[in-house]
A and B are shown apart, each in its own frame.
Chain A
Amino acid sequence: MKKTLVIGGGIAGITAAEKIAQNGAEVILIEKENELGGNFAKLTFTFPVLGDAKALLNKEIDATQSLTGIEILKGTTLEKVNGSAGNFTVELSTPAGKRTENVASIIAAPGFHYMEPTAYTEYLYGHSSKVVTSLEFEKMAAEGRLPKGKVNVVFVHCVGSRDKAKGYRYCSKICCSYSAKHAIMMKKTNPESKNYVFYIDIRALGKGYEEFIRSAMEEYNVRYIRGRVAKVLPEGEKLLVRAEDSLIGNPIEVEADLVVLASAMEPPVGSRELAQVLGIETDEYGFFQEIEANVRPCHSTKPGVFLAGSCTQPMEIASAVGMGGLAATEALILAR
């Protein structure tokens, strides 16, 4: 049996490596950072079932680490790839120095990156400490720094998504759901808080998602207002959020103590460079291009290189896990 290389220690990469090892093949899992977990590790809760993200992830990581046949290399990047499907020679740059390996196939699962909405100066991002991204909100929640007392919190959808001028034209798919999750988290931690979510369209694309978002409205009293936030103005200690309630057709103003921007999922940093090293193609945004998006979602444009997780498109955890498994089975065929 030949070895397989998995790039990226997020949930998709971990799943792929785990499945290959459970099937008795050898696998090398490389991760750029010094910890496994990727973007999953930055979350506190999962959705639509509010599960403890840390516990779920740690269980997966522990299961993977306990398997034989898996070699986990942290702080490692891919330098060079030669050869073809079934017989790749890869050069890795590990903290211990350069290392060359012979693998049958490569699974690329570098994940995604939360966009830094620095271009959104109308939302005062980077100019006011009260305007944060969802990722920073997760961190605030984990550290117990969410605002206390009678506060207004505004959640803004589509920051960087569905925006040709300052971001990307695609929909990031999961922001609707995680903003609902954040609003529920906020209400649970601080029952005195009032939460407003500004949306354009609600995209609840998954089992239980619609019910989850409805529960935010029905049980947690989150006010959903259709309209993209136009601007955020500083007014003394508070922020003024201006938008249109487009179902009524009138401009409105909300006084807010915290504004949370649901920033877009963008291709991972350096995705185009990685694609060049791997010899595969990317789409116009920098996501990896599948050879056939419907029935071959994990095949890249180069035979022997498989894709898993949100490096191909914005994706929720369950899909990333599913895709990791699919990539693993494809890799196992070549490893034989």
Chain B
Amino acid sequence: MLEQTKDWDDDFYEKWKPIAMGFVNEAQKCLQCGKCTGQCPAAAVTPSYNPRKMIRDLVNGNIKRVLSSVELWQCFFCGGCYAACPMDINFQFFVFMLRLAAMNEGYGWEDVKQLEGYAEKDYLKNGVTVSDFERNPFVVDTRGDISKIREAAGLTSKRQVSDRAIAEINMLSDLTGMTSFMKKIGGVELLDCRTCTPEQEKKCKHKPMPSRVGKTKTHLRFYNYGEPGGKKHAEA
């Protein structure tokens, strides 16, 4: 199908800027110089990822292409593009906001689903996002017992977060709609790598995606900015 410029929402960015309250800015100043992509760690390993092209599509108003892309979800959030940018465009925030928009369109849920567990199981229950539970199967054997190491180091055997603090962040989560948002996602069970069965392992690799999230119907994403490339796709 031919791309039609009459479909583009060319004042999208102008309308978006005041709504986002300063989270997105300066995109209209983009020179398309490519300094961002030149230093990008994600672009170095996944050739179809290209921050310059995404900014271009955003300013032109080709919203459909940005939001339905896989590339939007390949950013490393390293901020190197912002550090390099001659026009001070903070692209990390664009990615962050655009991902929210993409989720509203039904894209990217397979990724968010995977992450939701960290928020629910760790952040809201314990007050810390990264727990002492080891999720990297390759280091389970080599690692010492954290609670013993903590005690030897003169710390409490477990990182303490008071009940009051946990009650407070739970209330904030409810107040700001984060809890209801997470309920919509459903989340995946975080697997225990030490006792993981082959069946579970399969599930772990193939992220299940809900067909609906609330009222939104979910879709699979597309490689909109070029051939996927990279090691994984080289053979396929």
Contacts and interface: CB of A to CB of B under 8 A. Distances in A.
Contact of B38 (A163, A166, A227): A227
A244 B88 contact: no
B188 to A, nearest CB: 33
Interface in A245-263: 245-246, 249-252
A155 to B, nearest CB: 15
Interface string B21-57: 0000000010111111111100110010010110000
B141 to A, nearest CB: 37
A243 interface: yes
B123 interface: no
Given A244-B52, A246-B52, A163 B34 contact: no
Contacts of B85: 165
B86 interface: yes
A242 B40 CA distance: 10
A229 B52 CA distance: 14
B222 interface: no
A229 B35 contact: yes
A231 interface: yes
A198 B73 CA distance: 29
Nearest to A250: B47
B38 A230 contact: yes
A164 B84 contact: no
Interface in A128-161: 158
Contacts of B96: none
Given A200-B33, A246-B34, A246-B52, A230 B86 contact: no
Nearest to B48: A249
Contacts of B84: 122, 230-231
A8 B177 CA distance: 67
B44 A163 contact: no
Nearest to B35: A228
A231 B38 contact: yes
B33 A164 contact: no
Contacts of B13: none
Contacts, number: 81
Contacts of A32: none
B225 interface: yes
A299 B233 CA distance: 64
Interface in A147-187: 158, 162-167
Contact of B43 (A162, A228, A231, A251): A251
A253 to B, nearest CB: 9
A80 interface: no
Nearest to B84: A230
B225 A249 contact: yes
Interface residues of A, number: 24
B31 A243 contact: no
Given A164-B29, A200-B31, A246-B52, A251 B86 contact: no
Interface residues of B, number: 24
A228 B47 contact: no
B86 A164 contact: yes
Nearest to A246: B34
B100 interface: no
Contacts of A229: 35, 38
A214 interface: no
A292 to B, nearest CB: 28
Nearest to A230: B38
Contacts of A158: 33
Contacts of A252: 38
A165 B31 contact: no
Nearest to B26: A164
Given A165-B85, A165-B86, A246-B52, A251 B38 contact: yes
B130 to A, nearest CB: 31
B208 interface: no
B87 interface: yes
B226 interface: yes
B86 to A, nearest CB: 4
Contact of B87 (A164, A226, A231, A251): A164
Nearest to A252: B38
Contact of B86 (A163, A245, A246): A163
Nearest to B40: A251
A228 B33 contact: yes
Contact of A165 (B37, B40, B88, B225): B88
Contact of A249 (B31, B53, B87, B88): B53
Interface of B: 29, 31-40, 43-44, 47, 50, 52-53, 84-88, 225-226
The 8 closest A-B pairs by CB, nearest first: A230-B38, A230-B39, A244-B34, A246-B34, A163-B86, A227-B34, A228-B33, A244-B37
19 contacts: A122-B84, A164-B86, A165-B88, A166-B86, A200-B34, A230-B35, A230-B84, A231-B38, A243-B35, A244-B36, A244-B37, A244-B43, A246-B32, A246-B37, A249-B37, A249-B50, A249-B52, A251-B40, A251-B44
Given A244-B36, A246-B32, 7 more contacts: A163-B86, A164-B86, A249-B52, A249-B226, A251-B37, A251-B40, A251-B43
Interface of A: 122, 158, 162-167, 200, 226-231, 242-246, 249-252
